[in-house]
Amino acid sequence: MLGESIALLVAVLWTTGAIFGELASKRLGALPLNVIRMVLTLIILGLALWFMAGHPYPYLADGETWLWLSLSGLMGFGFGDYCLFNSYMLIGSRFSQLFMTLAAPFAAITAWMMLGEHMTWLGLIGMLVTLTGIGLSILGKEQGTSEGAVSSGDACVASRNKKTHLAVKLPIHGVIFGIGAALGQGVGLVLSKVGLEHYTATAPLEAGMSSMTYPVGGTMIRALTGLACFLLLLIMKKKVGQLNTAIRDGRGMHFAFWATLLGPAVGVSLSLLAVQHTSTGVAQTLMSLTPVLIIWPSHLIFKSKVTAQEVFGATIAVCGAILFFI
């Protein structure tokens, strides 16, 4: 049960980190924030590796380990986090994390394609249930006049569909970014598993080293790739000036630090440790509980309106993710 317990802890950390991530992204912007997060992550992980292994970098990792974990960083951090923090700005952390339940089916499909893990009928049903839950949460029967914006915290918009009387609360760009974030996390997790398996098989720990050296070192490799991606995007989009402005925002940097510590530094490292001690599917399913865990704190902090249908839909979506891996 060690892997399952760690995965559940990761869900709690990611819930808290998502709240700080939304606060930070709305102050600093998605791209500058991700550069800051990757730099802070590398500093934190470098100190951790120095303490655990005597070197501030994953010196035991060979070329193939770097390849697989770099590809994981490209998908998980470079693509996934770019989408995630843009979705925070557009639809808020609560709905963004709801779309992250799709990471479980994406992970399973990728594991089937790359590792030969078989998809079951329950898995296919789970995918349908997850999509149904997401649909229930973001679509609601409209009664009377349009609600308008649901809340500033969720950055939602409402629009009337005269034929079906559905109130579509989320902007399409936010939805696309949310799905992209789930794709990045799901695919990135499988690539991480491949990289870590090679890492542990080819680089035995030296005397006195902690077993956490593997997941922390793996996360550092992923973060280096993520930083390279975000710096390249920052330069290509000519937004280096925004980074300078963001660094001078003390409150935004405070939020960024906690989003980093709870997310890529501690949360992601523990997620890799969870994958080492249980199956990819079980780990991803437990880590997908964030959309349910985040509902109440999001309501308290952002004063976002939460309906019974949205809670029900989020719960159904998580149940679908769980079904996917039974």
Over residues 233-278, the pLDDT tens digits come to 999 988 889 999 999 999 999 999 999 999 877 887 788 788 778 7
Please state, in angstroms and rounded to a whole number, the distance separating the CA atoms of residues 140 and 167: 6
**CB-based contact 49:40 (threshold 8 Å):** no
Tens of pLDDT, residue by residue over 29-73, are 989 999 999 999 999 999 999 998 888 999 889 999 999 999 999
Please state, in angstroms and rounded to a whole number, the distance separating the CA atoms of residues 30 and 45: 22
User: How much is the CA Rg of the chain, to the nearest whole Å?
Assistant: 19
Angle between helices 172-202 and 103-115 (to 10 degrees): 40
Domain of residue 251, residue span: 2-323
Q: Model-level pTM?
A: 0.78
What local confidence, expressed as pLDDT, does residue 122 receive?
Answer: 74
Domain count within the chain = 1
What local confidence, expressed as pLDDT, does residue 281 receive?
Answer: 67
